[in-house]
Chain A
Amino acid sequence: SQQGEEDPQALSIQEGENATMNCSYKTSINNLQWYRQNSGRGLVHLILIRSNEREKHSGRLRVTLDTSKKSSSLLITASRAADTASYFCATENNAGNMLTFGGGTRLMVKP
């Protein structure tokens, strides 16, 4: 797989359920960032987790990072219809001067 690959590619859940998206990467990183993109719109920064961190929370978001497995997960708890979007992980290289994005997970939350 390529740097920053998410799975699943698509996820459909009911409102109120939790959504988990996974990201794998290949090279060493400075940090890993998660973004949301509504159809045809810009990228909204959700959360950044540094390479020396294992877990981070922000509101209904929980991100984990396992550098030994080169993987991360994004958990959205108590999902809402407004969470419907594509979610991307992006890894920052050690030089800290570029992000490599994955292909994204398309999340649909049904009301």
Chain B
Amino acid sequence: EPEVTQTPSHQVTQMGQEVILRCVPISNHLYFYWYRQILGQKVEFLVSFYNNEISEKSEIFDDQFSVERPDGSNFTLKIRSTKLEDSAMYFCASSGDGSSYEQYFGPGTRLTVT
């Protein structure tokens, strides 16, 4: 069964450093998303991406964040200058193969900012 994959599974970085989280969505999906979950808290929407542009973004998704689909398979989230409060599990999701709109999530990348 097709699935969303994410790399790395765990990333440790120092405050102020740039990180890029990578995702490979399900191949025939058209919509891509990033969410995050701070330990013990709700899953929070960050951004959605469709047709090579941002479709919606939350207040969390400020100028420090950016997304890109550099080729036909990868979808990346970049955090330019990480803060301690960016420590969280980051989930990529994809949806929309034309017949159903369930969002399928990847296993997540645990980002630890020290």
In the complex, what distance in Å separates the CA atom of A89 from the CA atom of B48? 19
- CB contacts under 8 Å to B, within A80-96, are 88, 90, 92-93, 95-96
Q: Give the residues in chain B near A41, CB-CB below 8 Å.
A: 107-108
The answer, yes or no, to whether A1 is at the interface (CB within 8 Å) is no
Q: Are A101 and B44 in contact (CB-based, < 8 A)?
A: yes
Q: Given the interface contacts A31-B101, A42-B107, A48-B101, does A98 sit within 8 Å of B56 by beta carbon? A: yes
Q: Are B105 and A42 in contact (CB-based, < 8 A)?
A: yes
Q: Give the residues in chain A near B106, CB-CB below 8 Å.
A: 42
Q: Which of A90, A93, A98, A102 has the most CB of B within 10 A?
A: A98
**How many residue-residue contacts, CB under 8 A, span A and B?**
55
Q: Given the interface contacts A33-B102, A97-B48, does A102 sit within 8 Å of B42 by beta carbon? A: yes
B25-52 Cβ-contact flags toward A at 8 Å (1 or 0): 0000001010100000011110010100
The answer, yes or no, to whether B100 is at the interface (CB within 8 Å) is yes
Q: Are A92 and B101 in contact (CB-based, < 8 A)?
A: yes
The answer, yes or no, to whether A61 is at the interface (CB within 8 Å) is no
Q: Give the residues in chain A near B48, CB-CB below 8 Å.
A: 97-98
Q: Are A101 and B42 in contact (CB-based, < 8 A)?
A: yes
Q: Given the interface contacts A98-B33, A98-B56, does A48 sit within 8 Å of B45 by beta carbon? A: no
The minimal Cβ–Cβ distance linking A3 to chain B, given in whole angstroms, is 10
The answer, yes or no, to whether B103 is at the interface (CB within 8 Å) is yes
Q: Are B107 and A97 in contact (CB-based, < 8 A)?
A: no
Q: Given the interface contacts A42-B91, A43-B91, does A98 sit within 8 Å of B105 by beta carbon? A: no
Q: Are B42 and A96 in contact (CB-based, < 8 A)?
A: no
B: residues with CB less than 8 A from A are: 31, 33, 35, 42-45, 48, 50, 55-56, 58, 91, 93, 100-108
Q: A-B pairs with the 8 shortest C-beta distances?
A: A42-B107, A101-B43, A43-B105, A97-B56, A97-B48, A97-B55, A98-B45, A48-B102
